[in-house]
Homo-oligomer: A and B are copies of this chain.
């Protein structure tokens, strides 16, 4: 297999992350690149969801993926098999990415020809929620085995996300997961959240998710032209 590109991200020197994030978002808008920040706990299915997303949108959008992890290049190798542009980012032990770290990743990825760049953030429900990466939209995955009470325990993550994908719905019969209760908890944290149950393994629900994402990318690119 072809070797994946691995970039060792340097720690940021900027204290004013919100300003850096705003600048990055503006630059990306001028270039017509939509940046999606995908967050979740470890093992909730970010990479498998990305494979399905690529499958659904690759004929319509030019997509590039940044896989952020503390170590390993497992995820970038998986994504590479889909044929889209991918880079593995190593965070040097850091538990999240901020805007400057994301900028380093985007430079490594080379976004010139892309419509959609996706950052798969470090698996963590706490720290990534605290840092604006400069993304156009934040999306998170909550998987059924993690339990329906997570919005109660990790409020900020649910507050900052535009979409919550509830993944692994194929195993609902084997877990005590109350979908209605979970929706209620999510909306308590974030009344505007869009909630989409999916199964990345089987593809269930991916259509609705891909439609939402495509709509957002198109809006972003249209706004650029006005």
Contacts and interface: CB of A to CB of B under 8 A. Distances in A.
Interface in A167-203: 168, 170-171, 174-175
Interface stretch (A22-30, A102-110, A153-161, A212-220): A153-161
Interface string A108-151: 00000000000000111111001000000000000101110110
Interface stretch (A12-20, A51-59, A66-74): A66-74
Contact of A152 (B72, B130, B147, B156): B72
Contacts of A171: 145, 171, 174-175
Copies of this chain = 2
A41 interface: yes
Contacts of A44: 146
A98 B156 CA distance: 21
B41 A150 contact: no
Given A95-B127, A127-B95, A171-B171, A152 B74 contact: yes
A55 B72 CA distance: 39
A168 B144 CA distance: 13
A83 interface: no
Interface in A68-82: 69-72, 74-75
